[in-house]
């Protein structure tokens, strides 16, 4: 590929990342005028990409808002503590490095060979809330992307017995802050390409990233395999998260099945799922490239 072609493709990628991130921010009203957003920076490709894209959007945003980059140094052995401060200083943006030895706590509490993610996440979350309060931030931005959201959906389906994903916006446990995921519409493969183009100084996680056969990793591999073999399937799955029909599920807290009565009025949400014409014309069905099975009652 020629240098001109590479530059062209990178420009297209930048436009797509900014468009998708801006669209998610607008759709869910993630950032408003006067917000002070704490951007959690781990040293991985996703959080680097998040900060990089938010800085680009901030420069052209119609409303003013502040960004504060925050890294939690968990004192993992071999962690290059100078990398992120140097990177952020070179960017010339407001930042804060919080040092807390959660590594020792996790290692002391979790038996060897067991998954550390749950305890590590809880400890990290509590510390970040404290830092957000100290820095006077009202929003906390995390680098989770589309594939993370889909992975969480399947993890809950397979192992939690819940039809539950990862919301693009929510309040924290204590109700004090709003957590946002501006990369909700962004595919992981695009973030990988962007990280390579921007040459982010990636820092691997030696605590959880080195653990093999994690269920999230297994589900992630499954989704990546689907993406290769069935183009459009992940897009269809993600669309489904935004197109929920409670009357066609079984949660009695979301839909009053017990008191359902006939009305004599046509129901637009009836059994249209079994209509072969409707099924064949559904964008989600055709986007996946899969054959539509025509069911007749």
Confidence of residue 101 (pLDDT cuts 50, 70, 90): confident
Of 73-87, 211-225, 283-297, which gets the smallest average pLDDT?
Answer: 283-297
- Per-residue pLDDT at 283 exceeds 60: no
Residue 263: predicted pLDDT? 86
Residue 271: predicted pLDDT? 67
Are 183 and 47 in contact by the 8 Å Cβ rule? The answer is no
- Give tens-digit pLDDT for 103-112: 787 777 777 7
- Per-residue pLDDT at 18 exceeds 60: yes
Tokens representing 40?
């959690």
- Give tens-digit pLDDT for 117-157: 666 777 888 899 999 999 999 999 999 999 999 999 999 99
Q: What angle do CA 208, 211, 214 make, to 5 degrees?
A: 95
- Give tens-digit pLDDT for 25-66: 999 999 999 999 999 999 999 999 999 999 999 999 999 999
Domains and CATH numbers, the chain: 3-212 (3.40.50.620)
Residue 115: predicted pLDDT? 65
Contacts of 94 (CB under 8 A, 6+ apart): 66, 67, 68, 69
Residue 113: predicted pLDDT? 63
Tokens representing 167?
């919301």
- Per-residue pLDDT at 207 exceeds 80: no
Alpha-carbon distance of 60 to 140, in angstroms, equals 21
Averaged confidence pLDDT in the chain: 86
Confidence of residue 291 (pLDDT cuts 50, 70, 90): very low
Alpha-carbon distance of 218 to 151, in angstroms, equals 9
- Per-residue pLDDT at 250 exceeds 50: yes
Residues in the chain: 297
Task: Map residue 231 onto helix, strand or coil.
Answer: coil
């Amino acid at each position: 590929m020629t240098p001109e072609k590479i530059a062209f493709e990178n420009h297209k990628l930048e436009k797509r990342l900014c468009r998708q991130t801006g669209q998610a921010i607008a759709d869910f009203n993630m950032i408003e005028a006067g917000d002070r957003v704490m951007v959690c920076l781990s040293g991985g490709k996703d959080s680097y990409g998040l900060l990089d894209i938010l800085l680009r959007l901030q420069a052209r945003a119609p409303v003013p808002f502040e960004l504060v980059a925050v890294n939690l140094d968990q004192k993992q052995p071999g962690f290059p503590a100078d990398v992120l401060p140097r990177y952020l200083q070179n960017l010339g943006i407001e930042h804060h490095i919080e040092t807390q030895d959660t590594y020792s706590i996790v290692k002391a509490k979790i038996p060897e060979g067991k998954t550390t993610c749950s305890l590590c996440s809880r400890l990290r979350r509590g510390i970040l809330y404290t830092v957000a309060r100290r820095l006077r931030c009202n929003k906390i931005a995390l680098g989770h992307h589309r594939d993370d959201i889909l992975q969480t959906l399947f993890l809950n389906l397979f192992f939690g017995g819940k039809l539950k994903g990862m919301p693009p916006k929510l309040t924290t446990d204590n109700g004090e802050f709003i957590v946002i995921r501006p990369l909700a519409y962004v595919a992981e493969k695009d973030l990988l390409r962007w990280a390579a183009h921007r040459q982010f100084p990636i820092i691997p996680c030696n605590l959880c990233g080195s653990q093999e056969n994690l269920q999230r990793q297994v589900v992630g591999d499954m989704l990546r395999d689907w993406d290769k073999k069935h183009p459009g399937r992940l897009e269809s799955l993600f669309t489904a998260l935004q197109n929920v029909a409670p009357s066609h599920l079984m949660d009695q807290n979301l839909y009053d099945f017990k008191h359902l009565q006939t009305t004599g009025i046509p129901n637009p949400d009836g059994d249209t799922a079994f209509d072969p014409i409707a099924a064949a014309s559904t964008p989600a069905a055709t986007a996946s490239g899969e054959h539509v099975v025509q069911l007749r009652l």
